[in-house]
Structure 1
Amino acid sequence: MASSHVTKLDPGSDAFKRILYSLQVALRGTNVSNVHAWFVETPSLRAKYERQTSTGGLELPSWVDVDALPAHNPVQEVCARGFRMPEDGGGLSFHSGNIDLSDVGDRTQHQFLLCRIAVGRAFALLEEGAARAVPEGYDSLYVHSADDEADAGDDEAAGASGLHRHEYVLTNPAQALPEYIVHFDFDPADAVMGPPPSATMTLDERRDHFRAKIDEVRGEVSRALSVLGPSLGSRTEEMLADLTTKYESALHASTQPEPLLEERKRSIHEGIRRITGKLEQVRSNSEAVYEEVCKRMQDALERLEALTKHKTAILLSEELELRRQLRQISSAETMVPHLQEALQPTAFVEAWEAHQAMRRELIAQMTGAGASMVGEALDAVRPDLKVVGEVEVVEGSAAGRRGDPAAAAGAGPSGSAVASRLFDGTGSATSSSGAGLAAAAAAASAAGGAPGSSQVPSAWFREEAGMPPAATPAPAPAARPDGRSEPPKSALALLDRITGPSPSRHAMEAELARARAALDLERANLASVQTRVASLPAAHRSIGEEALSQQEERVAAATAAFQEASANYTAAAGGSPGASRAFGESTWGEMSSASPPAPPMASRMAPSALDVPQRQSEPAGRGASSADAAATPATVPASASETPAGSAMAAASSRPRQTRSPAKDPREHMERVLRRNRLSAEAARRHRRIGLSESDLDGLAFSSSKLVEGKVAHDLYACLPFVRPRVDQGAGGYDYGMSLPEPVPPRAQLVFSTLDDAAPSFRSLAACLAAVEGPTLFIFSANDHLFGAYASQTWRFDGEYHGDASSFLFSITRDARVPFVGRISGPPQPSDAALRAAHDHEFQMRKERWIAGVTEARARAEASGVVFDANGSILEAPEHYPTDDLTVPPPRPRPWKRIDTQYSDEGRISFGLTDLVIEGDLARCSSEIESTFGIGLRAGSTAAKTLLAGAETFAVSNLEVWSVGNAAYDSVA
């Protein structure tokens, strides 16, 4: 086995400072403490990595959570022999950008590997569960997530808000090089999410802010000099004056735009615009081909789908890389104001120097060998598909530019026994004239099948418009070998799902979408300005009120523009009520005498059976049935974003998602937030981390429950927090040779069940809970819904809120985990003052221990021959003398905040403020999430009130309460 050498970094070294700054940017917070880093040197791994990257290509940093490493990749072996890839060939996932600590509960100690990953040219995986095979010409896979779609068109804001996180799949172990092991303390609640705190401060205000800090430093220095003597006073004043000059210079430089980055951002926007245009050409070309192919044999369309999908993936692969670069720039640049606000002057100067070094690395990365290959992708993708004679879908230059993606996707190879073939613009299967779109459109027009013609109608348009099938008879399609007939598979349905409705057909809708986007943006800006103004000191309140007035005027102008666009759209739709009907006169039903089945892609587009009650004010066509939609006048739609920077990605989904505005189809919004918060996905991550076998789980996971069993019980058990004893680091920090205790699973013991209680009541439940120490798990059954909650602390029945952030709610019916978010706090409580005092006392004790430790370490150092200057810096030290104890950073204060996840008194048990409430002998219960627990639904919405029990108020049918605070056994192997 290869050997590795681990060297601890000096906190004063440039490498350590770069790692610390990168960690602050990745965590979106400066309250990182007890940071210790080790350099991992494994010559054999580095040699393999350098051979892998010798031809150039994109390299990115990746923070890998040591606690999340699977059993076959322990950190010691990863450092010695590299990452071991799964035997199934699916590769390993690595994340670049922000560090996600959303699933660590209240744990604040963290261990991460900082790796370099050679992603090279990444191919986008557009579908969940797609085969993880890297196509020829690519080096890795980019996992296209729901977050990429949700934040399309606003990449810079997403980067500034902590959404710069990207997942890559690597299949070659030589592509990942572990470089550093980093231990640190960080509370996820301290992460910065939102606009910079000094975004509205002028340069003079920032100088005033700095001068106040300098005055505070002078006061501390004066108190120190009163003890040490006044002889160093003049020297100290000179140092402070020099620091002031350096800070002024760094502050001024940090407010100036970087020309090279600005030019790169303009280039990125231009690349996205060009990709948008090419996507529209690909879409139009595919639509024209589809209108003709629908009259011919059905099997050839499978190849058209595969080729169109591949073209789209090539373009989106480049677009996703451009967006990643844009978010990376924004994520790094927007940290500077936070650093100005949070750091002391000396620390800010060091951070600014590290930031400048990061800028140079970004510029070199984005303009050098790792730059995006937009030009090659645009040249490689051509809208050159057309129908000539027989039908088989191929690309205009299918003779091997990137292999045969269609064959890889399951389509038949070129030349297979198909009724007809699809050629390029010249009539040749291998040449490319670029005239495919025009030729296909001409062929369709000659056949009477041009878009808009009632002779060959568009089935996808009828489906999009919610129209019922027409009854016009038509010849049945060719039978399958098994004797059944089925409709043609629509390549356009794929494009509709990926790129959204065609702007060429919906010009008014696109204009309305732009107006809606502008209005939503101005409203969001208004909310941000209102929040900032409320927090301004009285001296600056007039400036804030002026900014607020200006923003209100912008909102009024955007509202007027939206109303005008809405009126134009309604007039256009209502002026020709038969237009849409004439365009979609035929459907799949015309091609078969049997009842028309849905197109293959349509089944994936249909909303799931979530029983979210429809609001009465919801427009028909968005929440109503297709028949109702067909009979209802045109209403205002919510289409994809049309902003220059976001239209291509906004086209990447057919869901109506313009912004994060609440004006969305509630079913679609519910589906999206549920995908992000799946209980089963969280359980899968924890299963990999825990490493327990199915036989272990059978005995641990609620074995006597009458409400949950099998995989459901296993998943729910895996989501419970396991016990990891906190390690006292001491003043010297971590010892790399130290192994942290293994997590211990809890023992699940049934303590209350309505199925076993002859007369269950609130009183009997409360008496049971009062006798249980530690965490408890509730499993409810009501209205045919199965849901529950995990309470991390003992129930006190004292009429006060308490708890911690590891508590959560869950829905087994919805497959959802609802974590703590703490949007609203409960009222002040008598115990608040004592809790705040205890919090402050704990910090003071930590500070005193730190002072004592540093003083003792300095005394030992001086006795060993270490020489310090007047400022405490080391001038001379014996060779190999350990200096770790002399460089331990001081503890940083954290604001006290009460966590209101639990409440109980003689008549009420509540999870959060309103999220899940038990009252009245279990017959008067209620639920409305998004106050203390949440997944991103609109507060007060029907979805928030019905997520758990299917109704806002409910009576409990069955209830089980489990004690989960004791260890199942002493340790886990």
Structure 2
Amino acid sequence: MRLVLLDKNSDTYKEVCYDLKLGLQGHPASDIHIWQIDNPQANVAFDRRTANMLSLQCWTDCGALDSSNQMDDICRRGFVFPTNGAGMHFNHGNIKLDDSVESFMDEQTPEATSGSGKQQHFYIFSEVGVGRPYIIDSGAERRKPVGYDSLYLSKKVLDDDGDGVISAEEYEAIVGMEGKDPSSYEHEFVITDPTQVLPKYVVRFAADLDPDEDEEMSDPLKVYDRHDFFDPVLYRPVSLRDKMIGSHSMGEAANHKLVSMSDAYNAAKEDPIIAQKKKGIMDELNKIDDKMRAINLNFATVEERLYNILKESLATLKDEVNCKTKILLSTELEFRRQLEQLDNAEQWLERERTELSQTGFLEAWRQHTNMTSKMCSEVSAETSVLNNLEANLAIEGGVRIVTENGEPLMSTSGMPKVGGFDVVTNNNGTTELRQQLFADATAGATMTTGSTKKDLVSNLSADKVSAAAQATSVLNIAGTHSSASNPIPTISGMAYNPPNFLASGDGKMMDNDAWTQSLQKSMGVGGDGLSGLPGSPAPPPPAKMMGGGISGQTPALYTPQIQIPNPNLVPPNPVNMSKSYVPARQMAQVASHFSQFSLSALAERKMRQLSVAPNDQMVFRGSAIVGPTDAKKLYYSIPFISTLPTTSLCYSTRMHERSIKALQRSVLNVMAPTMVVIRSGEYIFGGYATDPWRFDGGRGGNPKGFLFSITLDCKIPYQGRQKDSQSGVLGGTSGRRHDCMWSGPDFMGFGIKDLCLRGDFRMCSSEIEHSYSVGCEVKSQEAKCFLAGSPIFVADEIEVWSIQN
């Protein structure tokens, strides 16, 4: 981070100065110094968080901040928000100067006072991503609904009469602009996410009682330096000296056609872009009026019927109408704010015309057009709100308030359900959902079997891999176990003898190596693994892997029996199965580059924050996959604040049928978050789902969900950067739909492709960096092998735990 003092002749300095004068509304200021805050890390975080989000310029008085937000600290690491989640207030529009507030610096320092003894004002000029603001009372709870990015503080009480509904009179009193002076443009927002605020400049200025008069060049000896001409190409005034011996006496500038200063001054006319923008805003406001009338009429009709049935249900109706009204109010205030901002800028320009010289006004006009061009180019996200907001309340049956189209109430759910997904089986025996999920099946089944030193799959075994990709066996669930002498068919159609993976300590590490060697041998490489290939480096020395497991006796792996496959039930090949398996110790080197996502570090930090330790009965007790140490890491990764959650086992491949259908039956009625824990060979991993599983083909979930790898000690957060045809914006108040969870009749997944279980768990797939991300390159080998060592894997054991708060 560094501060750069801006040159007073630079365009950036002039733009900030113009914004300062607009905010001061004629309050004279002098001795203006502006420092640009150069913080690349904060810029990246802000751009990532506020992409496609409305951003406004806000002024923050450094003298009004507390000790946690000193000016130098803000420049270094941004604003520090309160830990209670209340957020911080940011003012957009006019600057209120309070000369009674003491400077946050020592008044004896040169920075605190100017040479004339006037007190200096220090302000932080920030870019604030307000996005879609939701209106609240100034003293109301700071709760931001789903789909909104900030809170807008109303200057007036929303429900003035306290009857629980915003009436038409109260609505008009809040949004009414009649008689309001555009120069009083000021709005206050509450931001709860620090990454939505980017400090850009530190501005120091002194408030003058008397404005400086422009010095007129009336001296005849200075006629050569008087600006009598204007260059419309360079957009700058030109003096006679410049024209004869200066900048416009030679070169390209000498060919520019100059106009007189008075002609350039008179050419400043009304901007047609502003008029067009105003017309568009007025059209949207008219739509809001129509919506408001329809909603009020709908409210009155339903209210009359509801009172005749049961008065207690009236509260639900009022909440729903109030929610829609607030949405319209928030939308209208945003449009009116834009309208007011344009009026304010125009009125200020007219004032500048009367107060400034021609030269000064032309410079002000330039800044004005630059500013208004940016404002007019903003595409408002509020327009889509009106198209999805309907007056659709009705009574169904008794006194339960519903919507006519069956969507959840906005005032209770915060995430209306819009649309569905066709999962009806077609003539080919598959579903539209499956076809979209495995849209890259054809590409995945196409393999290159040329001679490559790094390929673990040799030319001789490539045909077997391809055949296995086209016809996967459908397994019959039987409660038998195989010994080491009975090889288990693998996903590639080749046999290998799986070692025991459940032992801990050095024995487990040896088993991991044995599993790797067994898989490589079954693929035609030989028992020496990678070292058997020409030119391949020797494997690194064994290292003790992370992860728990249970000690003591080591039960044999579950072995389903093979039946004749039914081609109608075989899903398409989801990914390229020709990629090499990556041992865990090799993948651990990749994971070491993402230490900021360490599962152990996050758990230890949360342990220190909590003053009470959970009972052992609450921490995945009886798990056959994770041991006590890893169970605590996983437990403390669950998003909770103070109330300790309890865990209970819902499904286990050791106790239930080994199929996705049996798993669905076990978790379908679990109305709580769930933790899915998977072991595949030497890898232990899984995911945390915040919402109940529906298995209806729809997507959902909450960004608090995550994937994890016990083996690599990594917590993989939801990012949602990659999108497909089912991702996007929905109607109502829900805003963007998340791809955290995705489940259907024959699969259960996290993200778009990040982790998917299907069938009898022998053709599961994983490829992070679609919805969940740690920073690997998208579609890279590391992303495909991060969780299970291979993009296609067999889930040896699966457990699903419910998390009850």
Does the pair score TM above 0.5?
A: no
Q: Give the TM-score taking structure 1 as reference length.
A: 0.35
Q: Which has the higher helix share?
A: 1
Q: Which has the higher contact order (CA 8 A, sep 6+)?
A: 1
Q: Give the TM-score taking structure 2 as reference length.
A: 0.42
Q: Which has the higher strand share?
A: 2
